[in-house]
């Protein structure tokens, strides 16, 4: 009988926040609920123009939700002051292609672009600017930068680099170990047969572009499994739009299991799928949700429903001597093992927007026959004096539409600094006039990246009492672009 280490059991129990109320395994394992704050997804969202009025709100809201945000900013020191510590900064200027390096796109699943030509009152940076910015009073505006560069060339540059690097719009990255989140150890921990009295030992660590699950599996003391498992995600993943899980691995020829759970209990039903690896050869494993087998400690649970992919609480990778119901794993060998994992993602989802652009209402109105300039907002009336700002914004929109990326183009009416607690009204055809808060536009952009209903739609938006407060309905009511 090999010597069993209570210290390692204790480590496992404390890591997964299972509080030992009494010295009874059964009871113990039912208590385990992990609640600590940690991000549940690894996709990075790139926010361009993150220091601006809309951009800083987008950034703040995403961070509050626990998303990973990379802010494309022109001046990192200034951006740090505005955005605080929680955000990753990438210094670049969209008008200078050399600054838009591929590293900027590492792990990025979607871009929210809130850049815009700096416009200010001709009086300059006096208290006037505040009033101007808040739409309180009209002051004669002037552009500081060149709209052609910022609104068109810049967007073209950003879209080019984004379309080269953003993954398929039908996938959702969950763990991208090629672009690891520093908090791997915060999320993944070992669960070996030590919990049953065994002596197998494993861990997961980052090396190069991969996470390496390795260790030694032993059948001593009636043991025979080693595994690594995530703590419960703070917000269970809603993968109901997807067909299944895809793993990219390099294995050692052994058969492993992937297990997902749709409840927060430590020792509840797991949904398991066995997959074979090829020695030292990269393999892509696709696990349709419908093929996951409900198991309780390697015994199938006939009466259990299918995995509820709408609330995935945790994931686990395991090497076990057992298959299911006492069957043995035909590829099992005691001893050392190694499974390298490049990523874990959901596949087969509905297409979602990869690029969300904050454009402007009025972009098609300059020189449009029949337009009564008296009724139009200043940007339309003064398009020429403002360097053709709206004309170049429209050209920027066209660059996005022809990029091959899936997109949402939001054209806000006059932006305000109000609270953003009003309903929104959206329309197509570019005839809308009114106001909308930067707060509401920021929220709209964030909602768009998660909604298939927002794909390839361009629309104007303002606040209105009778507007819509349901995002899905709001996007569904709009037509796709031709
Ligand atoms: N004001 C309105 O009533 C109104 C109405 C409809 C639409 N819009 C449009 O809505 C968008 C967002 O408005 P906002 O009020 O949030 O704008 P904003 O406060 O002026 O922010 C613009 C952002 O773009 C960044 N930027 C400018 N040029 C850049 C470049 N070359 N490379 C990288 N970043 C650059 C700025 O960075 P720095 O901090 O480094 O300058 C800033 O973060 C703009 O496109 C605006 O034109 C405005």
- The contacts of residue 67 (CB under 8 Å, 6+ apart) are 39, 41, 43, 45
With tokens 């993150």, the residue in question is 50
Same domain, 128 and 141: yes
Mean pLDDT for the stretch of residues 96-109: 94
Does the beta carbon of 49 sit less than 6 angstroms from any atom of ligand 1? yes
Percent of all residues in the chain with a pLDDT value above 70, rounded to a whole number: 93
Looking at residue 120, what is its pLDDT?
84
Taking CA atoms only, the protein residue closest to ligand 1 atom 45 is 116
pLDDT at 12 exceeding the cut of 60: yes
Beta strands at 457-463 and 407-412: parallel, antiparallel or unpaired: parallel
Q: How far apart are CA 394 and CA 215, in angstroms?
A: 57
25 pLDDT band, cuts 50/70/90, is very low
Whole-number Å distance, alpha carbon 134 to ligand 1 midpoint, is 14
Tell which wins on pLDDT, 48 or 194. Answer: 48
Same domain, 428 and 400: yes
Residue 17 covered by a domain = no
Judged by phi (left if over 0) then psi (alpha if -120 to 50, else beta), residue 122 lies in alpha
- Residue range 417-467, pLDDT digits in tens: 998 888 999 999 999 999 999 999 999 999 999 999 999 999 999 999 877
Same domain, 415 and 271: no
pLDDT at 23 exceeding the cut of 50: no
pLDDT at 42 exceeding the cut of 80: no
CA triplet 248, 253, 258: central angle to 5 degrees?
50
Looking at residue 215, what is its pLDDT?
97
Q: Is 255 exposed, middle or buried (0-12, 13-18, 19+ CB in 10 A)?
A: middle
Same domain, 290 and 200: yes
Whole-number Å distance, alpha carbon 227 to ligand 1 midpoint, is 48
Domain limit, last residue, from 284, 315, 347: 347
Same domain, 318 and 376: no
Does the beta carbon of 353 sit less than 6 angstroms from any atom of ligand 1? no
pLDDT at 33 exceeding the cut of 90: no
CA triplet 28, 30, 35: central angle to 5 degrees?
95
**Per-residue 3-state assignment (H helix, E strand, C coil) for 93-118:** CCCCHHHCCHHHHCCEEEEEECCCCC
Looking at residue 19, what is its pLDDT?
53
Q: From the alpha carbon of 154, which atom of ligand 1 is closest?
A: 31
Mean pLDDT for the stretch of residues 181-198: 83
Residue 449 covered by a domain = yes
pLDDT at 392 exceeding the cut of 50: yes
Q: How far apart are CA 300 and CA 269, in angstroms?
A: 9
184 pLDDT band, cuts 50/70/90, is confident
Q: How far apart are CA 53 and CA 273, in angstroms?
A: 47
Residue 78 covered by a domain = yes
pLDDT at 359 exceeding the cut of 60: yes
Residue 216 covered by a domain = yes
Same domain, 104 and 132: yes
Same domain, 136 and 187: no
pLDDT at 156 exceeding the cut of 70: yes
- Provide the number of structural domains found in the chain: 2
CA triplet 257, 263, 269: central angle to 5 degrees?
50
Domain limit, last residue, from 286, 313, 347: 347
Both structure tokens of 430:
């570019």
Mean pLDDT for the stretch of residues 219-228: 94
Same domain, 193 and 339: yes
Residue 32 covered by a domain = no
Does the beta carbon of 200 sit less than 6 angstroms from any atom of ligand 1? no
pLDDT at 208 exceeding the cut of 80: yes
Contact 11, 203 (CB under 8 A): no
Whole-number Å distance, alpha carbon 75 to ligand 1 midpoint, is 14
Does the beta carbon of 52 sit less than 6 angstroms from any atom of ligand 1? yes
Residue 19 covered by a domain = no
Same domain, 329 and 374: no
Same domain, 357 and 290: no
Helix, strand, or coil here: 412? strand
Domain limit, last residue, from 312, 347, 382: 347
Per-residue burial over 130-148, b if 16 or more Cβ lie within 10 Å, else e, is: eebbebeeebebbbebbbb
DSSP 221-283: GG--EEEEEEPPPSS-B--TTSSEEEEEEEB-S-EEEEEEESSS-TTS-EEEEEEE--BT-EE
What distance lies between CA 353 and its chain's CA centroid?
Answer: 12
pTM: 0.80
Q: From the alpha carbon of 96, which atom of ligand 1 is closest?
A: 31
Pick from 65-69, 194-198, 354-358, 368-372 the range whose average pLDDT is largest: 354-358
pLDDT at 37 exceeding the cut of 70: no
pLDDT at 240 exceeding the cut of 50: yes
Does the beta carbon of 150 sit less than 6 angstroms from any atom of ligand 1? yes
Beta strands at 188-190 and 225-230: parallel, antiparallel or unpaired: antiparallel
Q: How many helices (H) and strands (E) are present in the chain, helices listed first?
A: 12, 25
Tell which wins on pLDDT, 422 or 11. Answer: 422
Looking at residue 127, what is its pLDDT?
72
User: Alpha-carbon Rg of the chain, whole angstroms?
Assistant: 26
Which CATH number does the domain housing residue 386 bear? 3.40.50.720
- Residue range 361-376, pLDDT digits in tens: 999 999 999 999 889 9
**Run of H or E residues at 26:** helix 25-31
Looking at residue 24, what is its pLDDT?
42
Contact 114, 54 (CB under 8 A): yes
Same domain, 418 and 457: yes
Q: Please give the mean pLDDT across all residues of the chain.
A: 90
Taking CA atoms only, the protein residue closest to ligand 1 atom 36 is 49
Query: What φ, ψ does residue 464 adopt, rounded to 5°?
Result: -160, 140
Does the beta carbon of 357 sit less than 6 angstroms from any atom of ligand 1? no
31 pLDDT band, cuts 50/70/90, is very low
Which CATH number does the domain housing residue 320 bear? 2.60.120.430
Whole-number Å distance, alpha carbon 156 to ligand 1 midpoint, is 16
Same domain, 165 and 198: no
Taking CA atoms only, the protein residue closest to ligand 1 atom 8 is 360
CA dist 157 to 73, 111, 152, Å? 15, 13, 9
Residue 12 covered by a domain = no
Residue 152 covered by a domain = yes
Domain of 55, in residue numbers: 44-169+351-476
Does the beta carbon of 154 sit less than 6 angstroms from any atom of ligand 1? yes
Q: Which of 116, 125, 442 to mutate to test the pocket of ligand 1 (most atoms within 8 A of CB)?
A: 116
Beta strands at 244-250 and 335-347: parallel, antiparallel or unpaired: antiparallel
């Amino acid at each position: 009988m090999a010597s069993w280490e209570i210290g390692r059991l204790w480590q496992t129990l404390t890591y997964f926040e299972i509080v030992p109320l009494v010295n009874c395994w059964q009871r113990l394992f039912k208590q385990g609920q992990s609640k600590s704050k940690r991000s549940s997804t690894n996709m990075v969202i790139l926010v361009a123009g993150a220091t601006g009025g809309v951009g800083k709100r987008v950034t703040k809201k995403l961070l509050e939700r626990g998303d990973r945000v990379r802010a494309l900013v022109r001046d990192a020191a200034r951006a740090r002051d505005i955005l605080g510590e929680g955000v990753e900064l990438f210094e670049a200027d969209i008008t200078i292609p050399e600054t838009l390096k591929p590293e900027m796109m590492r792990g990025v699943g979607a871009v929210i672009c809130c850049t815009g030509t700096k416009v200010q009152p001709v009086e300059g940076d006096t208290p006037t600017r505040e009033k101007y910015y808040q739409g309180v009073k009209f002051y004669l505006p002037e552009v500081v930068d060149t709209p052609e560069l910022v609104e068109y060339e810049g967007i073209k540059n950003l879209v080019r680099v984004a379309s080269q690097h953003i993954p398929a719009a039908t996938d959702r990255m969950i763990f991208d170990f090629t672009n690891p989140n520093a908090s791997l150890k915060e999320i993944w921990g070992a669960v070996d047969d030590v919990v049953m009295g065994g002596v197998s030992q494993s861990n997961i660590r980052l090396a190069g572009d991969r996470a390496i699950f390795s260790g030694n599996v032993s059948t001593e003391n009636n043991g025979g499994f080693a595994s690594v498992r995530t703590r419960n995600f703070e917000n269970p993943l809603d993968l109901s739009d997807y067909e299944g899980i895809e793993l990219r691995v390099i294995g050692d020829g052994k058969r492993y299991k992937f297990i997902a759970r749709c409840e927060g209990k430590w020792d509840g039903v797991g949904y398991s799928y066995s997959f074979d690896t090829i020695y030292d050869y990269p393999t892509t494993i696709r696990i349709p949700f419908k093929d996951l087998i409900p198991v309780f400690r390697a015994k199938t649970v006939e009466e259990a429903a299918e995995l509820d992919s709408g609330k995935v609480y945790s994931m686990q990778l395991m090497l076990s001597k057992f298959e299911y119901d006492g069957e043995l794993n035909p590829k099992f060998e005691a001893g050392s093992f190694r499974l390298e994992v490049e990523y874990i993602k959901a596949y087969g989802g509905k297409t979602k927007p990869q690029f969300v652009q904050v454009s402007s209402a009025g972009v098609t109105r300059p020189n449009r026959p029949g337009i009564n300039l008296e009724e139009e907002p200043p940007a339309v009336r003064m398009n020429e004096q403002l360097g053709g700002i709206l004309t170049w914004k429209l050209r920027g929109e066209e660059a996005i539409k022809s990029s091959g990326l899936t997109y949402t183009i939001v054209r806000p009416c006059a932006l305000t600094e109000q609270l953003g607690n009003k309903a929104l009204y959206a329309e197509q055809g570019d005839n809308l006039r009114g106001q909308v808060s930067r707060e509401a536009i920021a929220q709209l952009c964030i909602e768009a990246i998660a909604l298939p209903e927002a794909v390839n739609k361009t629309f104007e938006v303002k606040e209105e009492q009778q507007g819509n407060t349901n995002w899905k309905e709001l996007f569904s009511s709009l037509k796709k672009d031709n």
